[in-house]
């Protein structure tokens, strides 16, 4: 299949690499970091110069972008190159409300839109071990499911367009809450002169054992605070999206506000572009 991929960064690089392994024709476009683009071109991807060119040459366009606003701006930019029968897939973490609105606009042009955010990180993308939470028309889902199988080993159809992004926000809220708890717990351990390594190794045998704990603390024991590759600013953005989404159902709480405040404080203190493991330094 002819695929255009916009946003071949940390996550996108692994996704595109695996699409190429399955002999799909993938077009990519340069962004601020050329390293992943150059590597993908060396593996068989085609680099194009404009978004419109990418859209014109693709049956399916993947978006792996950082916010709903950027997704909307990108779709606006590629509209001149779009044609009936194409499918656009947003694989980032976006607002379900925005996703549904974009889907309606594109449907009027004869273009299908699906949301397919991922669980897992860059390592899982490279190993083809991501999870996919897809919101799409059932017929469209069956068309794009084989593409997901190139880079994911758990694929779920969550419902109509917007359902994937709703499920992802719920998942990310759980994760960000756990990140905040791990950071605070180990900050308290430091103040109490509790050895981090002893505490961590004991916690691995208890209910506190989790992917978040292992990603954050195990590397930090070796003074590596890049273990959890999730930018603090992106975490704060996702919490804000979740809060807005939860408000639709009257599901506001003090806990949401508390988790949001942890990340807001971290961003204000200069950690916006740092990975969330740096919260352990607090």
pLDDT at 124: 96
Pairing of strands 46-48, 60-63: unpaired
pLDDT at 65: 96
Pick from 70, 18, 10, 16: which is nearest to 35 by CA?
A: 10
In this structure, are residues 130 and 120 in contact, taking their beta carbons and an 8 Å threshold? yes
3-state secondary structure at position 151: coil
List, as own/partner pairs, every contact residues 254-261 make where C-beta atoms lie below 8 angstroms and the sequence separation is at least 24, other chains included.
255/177, 256/173, 258/180, 259/173, 259/176, 259/177, 259/180, 260/236
Instruction: Tell me 118's DSSP state.
Output: E
- Mean pLDDT of successive 10-residue segments in the chain (282 residues)? 96 97 96 90 96 95 96 95 96 96 97 97 96 98 98 98 98 97 97 98 97 97 96 96 93 93 97 97 86
SS (H, E, C) 7-76: CCCHHHHHHHHHHHHCCCEEEEECCCCHHHHHHHHHCCCEEECCHHHHHHCCCEEEECCCCHHHHHHHHH
pLDDT at 8: 95
- Per-residue pLDDT tens for 162-205? 999 999 999 999 999 999 999 999 999 999 999 999 999 999 99
Could you give the domains of the chain?
A: 2-160 (3.40.50.720), 166-281 (1.10.1040.10)
Cα Rg of the chain (Å, integer): 20
pLDDT at 282: 79
Which residues lie across from 134 on neighbouring strands?
157
H or E segment to which residue 112 belongs: strand 112-115
Please give the backbone phi and psi of residue 224, each rounded to the nearest 5 degrees, phi first: -110, 110
**How far is 127 from 149, CA to CA, in rounded Å?**
12
Burial class (CB in 10 A: 0-12, 13-18, 19+), 235: buried
pLDDT at 190: 96
Taking the whole predicted model, whether its pTM rises above 0.75 is answered as yes
Determine the straight-line distance between the first and last CA of the chain, rounded to whole angstroms. Answer: 48
């Amino acid at each position: 299949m002819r695929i255009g991929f916009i946003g071949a960064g940390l996550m996108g690089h692994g996704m595109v690499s695996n699409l190429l392994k399955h002999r799909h024709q993938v077009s990519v476009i340069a962004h601020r970091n050329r390293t992943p683009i150059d590597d993908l071109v060396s593996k068989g991807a085609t680099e194009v110069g404009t978004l419109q060119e990418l859209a014109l040459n693709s049956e399916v366009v993947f978006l792996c972008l950082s916010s709903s606003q950027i997704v909307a701006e990108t779709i606006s930019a590629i509209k001149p190159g779009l044609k009936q029968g194409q499918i656009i897939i947003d694989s980032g973490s976006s607002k379900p409300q925005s996703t549904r609105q974009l889907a309606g606009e594109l449907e009027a042009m004869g273009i299908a839109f699906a949301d397919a955010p991922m669980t897992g990180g860059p390592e899982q993308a490279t190993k083809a071990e991501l999870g996919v939470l897809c919101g799409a028309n059932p017929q469209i889902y069956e068309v794009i499911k084989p593409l997901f199988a190139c880079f994911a080993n758990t694929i779920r159809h969550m419902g109509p367009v917007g359902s994937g992004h709703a499920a992802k926000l719920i998942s990310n809220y759980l994760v960000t809450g756990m990140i905040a708890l791990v950071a605070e717990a180990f900050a308290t351990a430091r103040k109490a002169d509790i050895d981090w390594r002893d505490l961590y190794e004991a916690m691995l045998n208890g209910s506190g054992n989790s992917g978040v704990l292992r990603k954050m603390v195990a590397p930090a024991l070796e003074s590596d605070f890049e273990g959890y590759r999730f930018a603090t600013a992106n975490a704060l953005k996702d919490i804000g999206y979740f809060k807005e989404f939860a408000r639709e159902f009257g599901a506001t709480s003090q806990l949401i506000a508390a988790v949001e405040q942890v990340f807001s404080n971290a961003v204000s203190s200069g950690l916006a572009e740092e990975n969330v493991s740096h919260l352990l330094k607090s």
